[in-house]
Structure 1
Amino acid sequence: MMYKKRLRFSLSVAAIITILSSIVLPTSTYADDGNGENFSLTIMHMNDTHAHVEPLPNMITAIKEVRAENPDALLFNAGDVFSGTLYFNQFKGQADLALMNMMDIDAMTFGNHEFDLGSSENGHKSLSAFIAGANFPFVSANVDFSGDAYVGNKVSNTFTEEAQDSTVYDGMVKEINGEKIGIFGLTTEETLETSSPVNAKISNYAAEAERAVSAFEEMGVDKIVALTHIGYDSNPAVGNDLMLAEQVDGIDVIVGGHSHTKLEQPTVVNTDENGEAKDPTIIVQAYQYAENLGELDVEFNDQGQVVGYEGRLIDVTEKQADPDAVSVLASYKNEVDQVSNEEIGAVALKPLLNPRLSDSDVSVRADETELGNLITDAMLAKAQEKMPEVSIAMQNGGGIRAAIDQGPITVGEVIAVLPFGNDPAVVQLSGDEIKQILEYSVHLAPAESGGFLQVSGMKFTYDSTKEAGSRVVSIQVKDGDGYADIQPGQMYAVTTNNFTAKGGDGYDVFAQAYADGRVQDLGEIDWEQFRDYMVEDLNGEVNPVIEGRITDLEGKEPEPTEPPEEPKEETPDPNGDGDKEENPGDDKPQENPKDDNKPKDEDKNNQDDKDSTPPPSSQNNNGNGSNSGGSIVKVSDDKTSPISSGNKLPNTATNMYTYMLAGVVLLAAGAGLFIIKRKKAKA
């Protein structure tokens, strides 16, 4: 039997209608093919709730309203339930699950954050408990859990028509009014960098999607939904929904997550990667944090082709909370509120923002920020209490998740800022490796990147207009009250969170250091370090500022790091041979009185004194004085000879002028005597 998944109909009437309708009426109207046998399906969807449990009772109300009109509507969760609020820190997903079990979810796939506890738990213990307690199945075609001791026994690597709750399948089939719907899941390969999958393996999204489509076609299924957590338009190096729609024939609907994209209307892809016409694929995504419930109505013809659709986002904040769900939430909320509302004993003297480019000119993922400085200062100070040799702190911007309001700071605010509960670590890195890390940190600048590093104990300058990998212009490490240039071959102790220390966000240099055994766990929790620093080290007064730790030159020339050299006075060369001699007073840099008000730290940025003045061999030696006054007296090769300060001539020159003057006097006297004798003789 031939299925539409392998067909091209570029010259058919249906193809022309498909293409024209996607251009003219992109939100709703692929035409009926005229045979009156079309099948309509309603899909509800949610993604990236990130432990925002409190809106879920409102979400349940919205779900019930949709089902009141469409009883057969399917409900999908596209992942990232884990991590983000105190609910997750306290209950490891169980608070979310208690409410999700009231939603009658048809399938869920795994987001990258479902793997966040892998390292700390030496496997996916909490995820296993989440799966075991779910009254819905999971789909994941490209995640292999066979190596995980906790989840491995909950996996069935099949495409099944009899899916069971609390089980992970490659894919599953739902039958609605006699029509079979194939559903498979995909998780971004970025999980290998952005989370801690440990023994779970993640394979290529496109290859596994091809396998899933083929499997469903063999089962006689011609309506296929991909439930993905790969991002709408995310990193093309690891794939995204737009690429999936172009590359893999046979996918009718993509229900997505990961990029937190707010698609008010569905996106239609009806050409492949070569620009040739293909069966349309509808892409939807519902933003983040349980703020919206997505609803998609899609219509198929008898060949399984999409011929009509309409989609929207339902703002759940406008819905009344479901009373039964509120009761379920109450027991969790009471505990969270009790912990969250506790004041830590520190006060923010101003709002500490967590800016993003969506609503600001700067971003925690692209620029130095006050909150980033505060967090890294805390990391550095607390690491130094255990390991005084630690000199640098680095925090990935993507790990900073919330702002802090002005006023008394609460536990809830602290945990919201650093919700992942990462363990701080110390990494031994060379100066050259640090440069490579900073190059990677800014390789996407000025665009945002979760791997962009906030720093403490150092400062650096880069130029975002230069080619990625060659952007860092200068790096200085804190040295007493100032800064000193980093030394490529010197080793430095750097503290960061264990996620970054193991190579998270794609940091190969950190990953190599970890493989080499150069990473040491500090046995702390990052948010507790942060809390204690504000209370103990800052005495409860929190007021960080921008200090110029990270500077983007944006194509401009860097400002000089030391004052220009004062012109040297010149002295005639008594030998007349054109040789130059440096001002004897310049064996060390002269102070510039114009720079009396320059910050002391800025002076520390300069090279060592011994390198401030170029050696004689590097000076102009063309026989002409470098200034208009003639040749410069050359410094004596005798390093033990005394050298005067200021503009005095050296003693050797003074003595020579004395001898010359005496000679002139004697010569004049001799000439006078000669003239007198001549006159007497004539007389």
Structure 2
Amino acid sequence: MRPVRCLCIMMFLIFAASPAPCADKKITIIHSNDLHSHFLGFSPNIDYSPLQTHDDDTVGGWARIATAIKKVKQQRNNPVLVLDAGDFLMGSLFHMLSREEAFELQLMKAMDYDVITLGNHEFDLKPEGLARILSTAHQQGQIPQIVLSNAVFSKTSSADDALEKIFDSGIVKPYRIMEKNGLKIGFFGLMGKNAAEVAPFSAPVKFDDPVASARIMVRLLREKEKADIVICLSHSGLDDDPKRSEDEILAKQVPGIDIIISGHTHTKTDIRKVNNTLIVQAWCYGKELGVMDIIWSGGKVSLQDYRLIEINDAIKGDAGITAMINGFEDRINRKLLAGQGLAFRKLIARTRFNLEILEDECNLGNLIADSIRWYINKKDTDPDDPATRVAVGVISNGVIRDNIEIGKTGSIAVCDAFRAIPLGIGFDEASSMGYPLISFYIYPGELKKALEILTSIYPMKGSDYYLQLSGVKFSYNPNRMLFDRVTQIWLGDEDTGYTPLDYPASDKRLIRVAADIYNATFLKVVGDFTWHVLDIIPKDRNGNPVADLKSAREDADGSVPGIQEIKEYTGVIEYIRSFPDITGDGIPDIPEKYKERLGRQLVEASWNPYKLLKRGTYVTWIALGVILAALLLLILLIGLVRRIIRKF
């Protein structure tokens, strides 16, 4: 018996000393993206009542998001992480004081965000502006952890030195490690290719290839930091077209990422899985909040549950966050709007219909494009020189950010009009907020090229490149050769009528065109993208090329030294305020003409050979020549094959 007893004791000691199998561990992830300073529910903001439920149709609102976050945490005993995939900035009047107050980061810290990344719109205020925002939040002690892994600073320019110091100080890091529930969780952040492309004011900061950067980060986190879970906060995006769905491409090409929190594309989607990587995105503007429960077991991550919470009037807003936002609104009124004779909730018009942004000619696009042409003609036209009147106003969908909706009352307040066109920064000494308007001259043939952006570039590059127009009407055939689809152009408007415009390459008449400086910077991008087929050279009144678009900014007061920039958002507000008061209540009314599209863009699809070739440019004739040569070669090959067959 004694040997048996000894054996039992030895077996007991062996098993007691052996490590127990790893227990399953649960982590919950709450995620958002593209919040864009939309602190208030919309639309319109003036209907939003965060402390009451079931009394309005608004969606979003950061106080409601805060409540949803708290509820998820209360319902779970396991660790909960709150993450954001970038573009928390730019989209409402609140961002106008972001450099001085860092409202967005203050709120995100108060709402318990753990880790966030930067998107392209965080760079809208240029590197120095972003540095000020981050420094302000850091000094206040109110900033979540921030990761961005593929930013590259200039070795020759000092324009990004302030931001580089912020990164070097550790306020922004390439990656972070957190320990939760006994697990090491690694986070890194990426700026996607398209996001970098549409961030021209990030210069001289550049961004390394996201796939290459991700490979470096995954290897570092897995091998050096021994991370159990790797999470990428990616401001790259998802798309129905697999070739443009950057985060799905990332997951395919970079093994070792467990979860991608996606942003940038404002995609309403359910969870996606590519290989072993889970990919999520929560629409935009805080309209949804994603909640993911994952299980870590045996070194692998699996999904237990996933849902998207709709942020709407069924959720009562958090009282503390609401109080913070109310205080921010008061500061916006005192520090920004009072000097302009405005107030956050001041009513400037009424409407009997929604003004919407669509991937088509639309009423809001027409109104904003009209405001650009109207505002510059009001401020800067020589009555003795008719050619100085702005003939064409242009705005892209990428800059129009939200609808203006009728809501419960039909009233349009300053805050709601601003949300439609909120972006940008100036190039004046103070770097004042809002894109400045610029104007320059182009030839008739170059106007045709500009319209080809809508016919040819937009289908390839996406909705941001869709153009809304004022002062011009045109027709196009989508079946014609790329970059040569415009068939007719007219100048004028609905009030005075339209006149046909001929546009031979030899015509050197000057046509004055107006846009914001952001959209105008893409003229070079378009030229390069089209192998210079659509090159457009901005010119001054004398026909001389404009080397620097900043010199084409409109000046509100020529008697004051420097350029007093005319802001795009101011033009929209002033144009709306100029409308007649139809109802007699002392408040302007949106004219009925804006109820529907105005027929400024005419699609005339046809496969008729004459219509495919009529007035074709060299692009069409080269394409035709290639097709005919290919057909001739095919005929010759068929003949050769037949002769060979006959011989046998």
* Same structural fold, with TM-score higher than 0.5 when normalized by the shorter chain: yes
Q: Is the 8 A contact 2:102 2:134 kept in 1?
A: no
Aligned to 2:567: 525
Letter in 1 for 2:499: Y
SS in 1 for 2:193: coil
Pairwise CA distance, 1:305 = 2.6
Aligned to 1:18: none
Aligned to 1:168: 172
Distance 1:124 1:497, change over 3 A: farther
Letter in 2 for 1:108: I
Distance in 1 (alpha carbons) for counterparts of 2:607 and 2:94? 47
Distance in 2 (alpha carbons) for counterparts of 1:221 and 1:311? 23
Which runs of structure 2 are paired with 1:226-625 in the superposition (5 Å)?
226-233=232-239, 240-264=246-270, 266-270=271-275, 280-302=276-298, 304-317=299-312, 318-334=314-330, 339-344=343-348, 346-348=349-351, 350-355=352-357, 363=358, 366-384=359-377, 385-387=379-381, 388-405=388-405, 407-420=410-423, 421-443=434-456, 449-478=463-492, 481-487=497-503, 488=505, 489-490=507-508, 491-503=510-522, 506-508=525-527, 513=538, 516-517=547-548, 520-522=552-554, 523-536=565-578, 540-543=588-591, 544-545=593-594, 546-555=597-606
Say how many residue pairs are matched: 497
Greater helix proportion = 2
SS in 1 for 2:177: strand
Which string of whole-angstrom CA distances, capped at 9 and with x for unpartnered residues, describes residues 468-502 of structure 1?
A: 42322222333985323243343422110111011
Distance 1:175 1:511, change over 3 A: farther
Which string of whole-angstrom CA distances, capped at 9 and with x for unpartnered residues, describes residues 264-288 of structure 1?
A: 4x21112xxxxxxxxx110111122
Aligned to 1:89: 96
Which string of whole-angstrom CA distances, capped at 9 and with x for unpartnered residues, describes residues 543-588 of structure 1?
A: 134332111123377999xxxxxxxxxxxxxxxxxxxxxxxxxxxx
Letter in 1 for 2:590: V
Aligned to 1:191: 195
Which of 129, 147, 160 in structure 1 is aligned with 2:136? 129
Pairwise CA distance, 1:107 = 1.1
Distance 1:70 1:233, change over 3 A: farther
Pairwise CA distance, 1:150 = 3.1
SS in 2 for 1:461: strand
Pairwise CA distance, 1:373 = 1.8
SS in 1 for 2:574: helix
Distance 1:541 1:328, change over 3 A: closer
Q: Is the 8 A contact 1:439 1:469 kept in 2?
A: yes
Letter in 2 for 1:76: L
Distance in 2 (alpha carbons) for counterparts of 1:104 and 1:511? 48
Letter in 1 for 2:598: E
Which of 120, 128, 135 in structure 2 is aligned with 1:112? 120
Distance 1:393 1:411, change over 3 A: same
Distance in 1 (alpha carbons) for counterparts of 2:206 and 2:269? 30
SS in 2 for 1:339: coil
Pairwise CA distance, 1:517 = 3.0
Pairwise CA distance, 1:50 = 1.2
Distance 1:535 1:324, change over 3 A: closer
Distance in 1 (alpha carbons) for counterparts of 2:482 and 2:295? 46
Distance in 2 (alpha carbons) for counterparts of 1:299 and 1:42? 9
Letter in 1 for 2:304: Y
SS in 1 for 2:161: coil
Q: Is the 8 A contact 2:472 2:491 kept in 1?
A: yes
Distance in 2 (alpha carbons) for counterparts of 1:259 and 1:435? 29
Pairwise CA distance, 1:422 = 1.6
Letter in 2 for 1:353: L
Deviates more, 1:420-429 or 1:201-210: 420-429
Letter in 2 for 1:52: H
Pairwise CA distance, 1:453 = 0.8
Distance in 2 (alpha carbons) for counterparts of 1:518 and 1:323? 46
Q: Are residue 47 (structure 1) and residue 33 (structure 2) matched?
A: yes
Distance 1:552 1:325, change over 3 A: same
SS in 1 for 2:238: coil
Q: Is the 8 A contact 1:464 1:471 kept in 2?
A: yes
Aligned to 1:141: 149
Distance in 2 (alpha carbons) for counterparts of 1:517 and 1:511? 14
Pairwise CA distance, 1:451 = 1.4
Which of 163, 177, 181 in structure 2 is aligned with 1:177? 181
Letter in 2 for 1:39: K
Q: Is the 8 A contact 2:238 2:245 kept in 1?
A: no
Aligned to 2:384: none
SS in 2 for 1:186: strand
Aligned to 2:618: none
Q: Is the 8 A contact 1:446 1:464 kept in 2?
A: no
Distance in 2 (alpha carbons) for counterparts of 1:408 and 1:333? 19
Distance in 2 (alpha carbons) for counterparts of 1:236 and 1:125? 38
Deviates more, 1:144-153 or 1:133-142: 144-153
Pairwise CA distance, 1:537 = 7.0
Letter in 2 for 1:516: A
Aligned to 1:215: 220
Gaps of 5+ in 1: 1-33, 158-163, 271-279, 356-362, 561-605, 607-683
Deviates more, 1:82-91 or 1:106-115: 82-91
Pairwise CA distance, 1:413 = 2.5
Distance 1:207 1:486, change over 3 A: farther
Distance in 2 (alpha carbons) for counterparts of 1:511 and 1:155? 38
SS in 2 for 1:261: coil
Distance in 2 (alpha carbons) for counterparts of 1:433 and 1:170? 44
Letter in 1 for 2:518: F
Pairwise CA distance, 1:145 = 4.7
Distance 1:405 1:329, change over 3 A: closer
Which string of whole-angstrom CA distances, capped at 9 and with x for unpartnered residues, describes residues 58-77 of structure 1?
A: 22222223223145221111
Letter in 2 for 1:105: Y
Q: Is the 8 A contact 2:292 2:303 kept in 1?
A: no
Which of 72, 89, 101 in structure 1 is aligned with 2:79? 72
Pairwise CA distance, 1:292 = 2.6
Which string of whole-angstrom CA distances, capped at 9 and with x for unpartnered residues, describes residues 102-125 of structure 1?
A: 123221101111122229x77754
Which string of whole-angstrom CA distances, capped at 9 and with x for unpartnered residues, describes residues 178-205 of structure 1?
A: 3211111011232344232132212211
Q: Is the 8 A contact 1:194 1:504 kept in 2?
A: no
Pairwise CA distance, 1:226 = 0.7
Pairwise CA distance, 1:434 = 2.7
Pairwise CA distance, 1:408 = 4.8
SS in 2 for 1:332: helix
Pairwise CA distance, 1:526 = 0.8
Q: Is the 8 A contact 2:476 2:603 kept in 1?
A: yes
Distance in 2 (alpha carbons) for counterparts of 1:210 and 1:548? 50
Gaps of 5+ in 2: 1-19, 41-60, 334-341, 382-387, 424-433, 528-533, 539-544, 555-564, 582-587, 616-648
Distance in 1 (alpha carbons) for counterparts of 2:610 and 2:375? 34
| Larger Cα-atom Rg | 1
Pairwise CA distance, 1:389 = 3.9
Distance in 2 (alpha carbons) for counterparts of 1:136 and 1:445? 37
Distance 1:319 1:537, change over 3 A: closer
Q: Is the 8 A contact 1:293 1:315 kept in 2?
A: yes
SS in 1 for 2:82: strand
Q: Is the 8 A contact 2:151 2:206 kept in 1?
A: yes
